[in-house]
Amino acid sequence: MGERSLLNQLIDALRCLPGVGPKSAQRIAFYLLERDRDGGSRLARIMADAMTRIGRCSRCRTLTESELCELCANPNRDDALLCVVEQPSEVVAIEQATDYRGRYFVLGGRLSPLDGIGPDELGLAALESRLRDERLREVILAISPTVEGGATAHFIGDRAARHGVKITRIAHGVPLGGELEYVDGGTLALAFAGRRDL
């Protein structure tokens, strides 16, 4: 059996994208090859650069090209507030939908022992060191209201309580089992403004 064609390899590679199945991958591949080779070349070039140059912020763990992300490097952010989210996309959603001007910490997921995701995978040791910061007054948990999200929130809440830091959780205008990045801006803004003690 010979080597697979480059076209089939391209179609298979496009299937790594969320929501892109075999038919969508095939349509995208044919579109780029037949109608927008310049766009495809640009996409490939930028994607290669992004995969190589984008890493994690050393302080909040969001995605960035620098040691510190733009938000962590900004001296005008409020060090007394720390918002804990699951994914970098949720930092963007909160920044766009609210007037929050504190700091962030990105977990990269939620506790899920069955999937092998424990405290080490979520960088909770780094979060613990942030909890020791004397300027910190409140930790806002903007974690999805799932079973794993609830367990993660309680785990972090226990750690914060040991350091005497106030813990709040955003109000649940977000639907049960919903993912923050898919919630509309108005709902997210109301949920954020109506956060409550954990």
Domain range list for the chain = 6-53, 63-197
Tell me the CATH architecture of domain 6-53.
Orthogonal Bundle (1.10)
Domain 63-197 has CATH 3.40.50.1970: no
Gap between the terminal Cα atoms of the chain: 60
How far is 64 from 169, CA to CA, in rounded Å?
26
How confident is the prediction along the chain (198 residues), in pLDDT tens digits per residue?
Answer: 457 899 999 999 999 999 999 999 999 999 999 999 999 999 999 999 999 999 999 999 999 999 999 999 999 999 999 999 999 999 999 999 999 999 999 999 988 877 888 777 888 889 989 999 889 999 999 998 788 888 899 999 998 989 999 999 887 666 666 677 777 777 777 677 767 677
**pLDDT for res 42:** 97
127's CB contacts (< 8 A; 6+ apart) are 84, 105, 107, 156, 159
Place of tokens 């949920």: 191
Question: In this structure, what is the dihedral angle of CA atoms 33, 34, 37, 38, given to the nearest 10 degrees?
Answer: -160
Distance of CA 194 to the CA centre of its chain: 21
**pLDDT for res 174:** 63
**pLDDT for res 1:** 46
